[in-house]
Structure 1
Amino acid sequence: MSQHDSAALFASTAPYYHYRAGYAPDLYGLLTDRFALDADTRVLDLGTGIGVLALPLAERTGQVIAIDPEPGMLAEGRAAAERRGLPNITWIQGDSTSMTHMGLEPVRLVVMGAAFHWMDRDQILQDLNTLVEPGGGVALASGGAPGDIDPPDWKAVVDEVRIRYLGPQRRAGSGTYSHPKERHEQVLARSPFSVVEKHSWDRTVTRTLDEVVNLQYSYSYSSPAQLGPDQAAFDADLRAALAEHTPDGAFHERVRTEAIIATRN
């Protein structure tokens, strides 16, 4: 996927992914209508994680192929699919570089979440051009670009504690992470999927203290693996700082779901 070993990077985050806000329900209605998803269509979720996109889409299409390099993520996704009675998801361990050797059948739609920014974006879009059927496309789901929505005031408390334990740069494995400087729309504009449209939905999410703390462990830069033996101390310090900042224990955040849909000209 990138210069980082994604399997090691996300290994300890899988049990905490469900603390993330997820995507707005309207996203799935849009994709269903835009690409005429039904019992005869097939969708690929590349970099599926625990299946945040795959699970709702499996209720709207005939088959979902869910690919991720991290077995722990796939295990969480399989368990969630069983709980929801969704047998039409095929879970495959792999990544964007091995996808072309899997013998996949054509798909109507490819969806990618945050994993897209870890990939060789130009190369994967070229590869997907041979896999997406006529009339199909690519959809990128995210929380929007950094700075699109003002962060909640409690996030500064989280950042202060994280920096105290892990330093000022967001760590990625043994290195540090930098968000790609080139926006996805620019990459798409020079790809086979150059017709780009954007949609967004904003909503407010309210979390408890436990949920805010556990949310931090879902991020690669503050994962249990990054914290190591300091996790217990980090946890205690973060809880104390957040409780002092927000005594009523209700942590509000305005979150965005952004969908970038790209089709061929």
Structure 2
Amino acid sequence: MKQDVHSTTGYTNANGIFASCGAPYVTYRRPHPPAVVDYIASQFGRATAQPRILDLGCGPGTLALDLAERGASVTAVDVSEEMLAAGRDWADARGVRSVTWCQADATEAAALTKDTGLFDGATVADAFHWMDRPRVLAALDRAVRPDGFVAVVGYRAPGTQREWWHPLLEQLRLRWLGSVNLAGPATAYVESAGGHEEVIRRSAFSQVSVLRADYRRTYTLDELVGLQRTYAYSSAATLGDRQGAFEADMRRTLTAARPDGVFEADLQAAVIVGRRPAAAG
């Protein structure tokens, strides 16, 4: 299924923000901690035998494929055809058949129910900050069953520490890309106003529960360098002919900080689940 794509977040290049990121995303982005995926799957208890889940801003299916492997039928939505193509290939490699890939803006969620009916739940993983969140939640109010849920996932819970090497990478990006945080090539990132939980509490899904889950991430130097290719602000498309020098500088900086090439950090993920008050009781 493919629809005309447009942005409602102020980005004129919505389907190009993650240009060049599809294949690196599959290779270098880590899956969400099992506790996070299990918590979302536990919300299926109120759904049908095979719950129907809408995953917005799906990328190549990092969360969608895990949910499908836990028994859900997933409609995975993204504005980037490159990401969706990477997701189709990844699903084939994993033998996952219960994901439908759809190119659309997240605010069009209600239109996706036209042929299939309402969804049992909706998820947004590490992508809500790219969206017009109130409009997306209003669309989900028309797309999700009365007793359904919305789950917003973040690899790092608000207010918790970042990886210890984050300041080093911030300095590198400042040196090579300047002080403007980019949303893909030549476009400035639009900062979201207010936290995700605050926005959800002002929506129809105002009955909120939050899971925080501690976990550890470990990368090699090659993996950490490759990971930068998955971000809109440091992708190959954004860096252009500076990519080689940027990555060489990164290798020197990180090797000086950790000569053994092992990069570990203790983090805390968060899942914010919203339900309509009448259904949450």
TM-score range, shorter chain: over 0.9
Match of 2:177 among 144, 148, 166: 166
**Cα distance between partner residues in 2 of 1:159 and 1:126:** 35
Q: % of aligned pairs identical?
A: 38
Aligned to 2:223: 211
Residue 3 (1) aligns with residue 13 (2): no
Contact residue 18 and residue 80 of structure 2 kept, 8 A: yes
Residue 21 (1) aligns with residue 33 (2): no
**What is the deviation of 1:181?**
2.7
CA change 1:16–1:146 in 2 (3 A) is farther
**Cα distance between partner residues in 2 of 1:150 and 1:72:** 29
Give structure 1 stretches of 5+ with no counterpart: none
Letter in 1 for 2:226: N
- TM-score normalised according to structure 2 size: 0.88
How many residues are paired up?
Answer: 264
**Cα distance between partner residues in 2 of 1:197 and 1:126:** 19
1:1-265 to 2 correspondence within 5 Å?
1=7, 2-4=9-11, 5-18=13-26, 19-36=28-45, 39-102=49-112, 103=114, 104-145=116-157, 147-152=159-164, 154-173=165-184, 174-265=186-277
**Cα distance between partner residues in 1 of 2:162 and 2:251:** 23
Where 2:102 maps in the other structure, the secondary structure is strand
**Cα distance between partner residues in 2 of 1:25 and 1:145:** 16
Higher mean Cα deviation, 176-185 or 2-11? 176-185
Where 1:98 maps in the other structure, the secondary structure is helix
**What is the deviation of 1:147?**
4.1
**Cα distance between partner residues in 1 of 2:146 and 2:71:** 17
**What is the deviation of 1:186?**
1.4
Contact residue 42 and residue 61 of structure 1 kept, 8 A: no
Contact residue 13 and residue 219 of structure 1 kept, 8 A: yes
**What is the deviation of 1:146?**
5.3
Contact residue 39 and residue 60 of structure 1 kept, 8 A: no
Give structure 2 stretches of 5+ with no counterpart: 1-6
**Cα distance between partner residues in 2 of 1:80 and 1:248:** 32
**What is the deviation of 1:62?**
4.1
Aligned to 2:3: none
